[in-house]
Amino acid sequence: MNHRIVSSVLRARPTVPLRRAAAPSVATTIRFSSSDAHSQESFEAFSDRYVAFFQGAQDLFELQRGLNNCFAHDLVPSPGVIEAALRAARRVNDYATAVRILEGVKEKVETKHQYQAYLDELKPVREELGISTKEELYTS
């Protein structure tokens, strides 16, 4: 039965070749992403922008979006930016994100010495907020 239906449908198809509709020739404006606007931004301006962003983050989605954007750049965020991000993570009550911020710093720096310098500079903030590193949590 199915064979008859398929064959009758195939035989009933039109034999006239179908043409594609011509694409409309409308001029469109290309808008570049927002990262292009910050391509000539100084490190200080970058740091100030993200400190202000993290100070204003009110929910986890906004915090994680800011972290993704911040860590996507080809530089290591300043300790001030990391401090603001840690405080935002605790403000939205997400301890796991706070620990992952420190993991992100560990991945971004080039040497263990640089990572230790970040940890040393952020130690008062980490103690105030009660944030441990992944290494401190899992010492096996």
All domains in the chain, ordered by first residue: 43-134 (1.25.40.40)
- Residues 6 or more apart from 50 whose CB is under 8 A from it? 66, 70, 77, 81, 84, 85
Picking from 37, 131, 26, 23, the residue whose alpha carbon sits closest to that of residue 85 is 131
Could you report the per-residue pLDDT of 104-122, keeping only the tens digit for each? 999 999 999 999 999 999 9
As a whole number of angstroms, the distance between CA 113 and CA 86 comes to 21
Better-scored residue on pLDDT, 81 or 10:
81
pLDDT at 62: 95
pLDDT at 31: 44
pLDDT at 29: 46
pLDDT at 32: 42
From residue 27, alpha-carbon distances to 22, 23, 24, 31 in Å are 15, 12, 9, 13
pTM for this entry: 0.70
pLDDT at 85: 96
Tokens of 106: 């560990």
99 neighbors 132 (Cβ within 8 angstroms): yes
As a whole number of angstroms, the distance between CA 44 and CA 52 comes to 12
For 6, the enclosing helix (H) or strand (E) is helix 2-12
Could you report the per-residue pLDDT of 33-87, keeping only the tens digit for each? 455 555 688 999 999 999 999 999 999 999 999 999 999 998 999 999 999 999 9
Banded model confidence at residue 23, pLDDT cuts 50, 70, 90: low
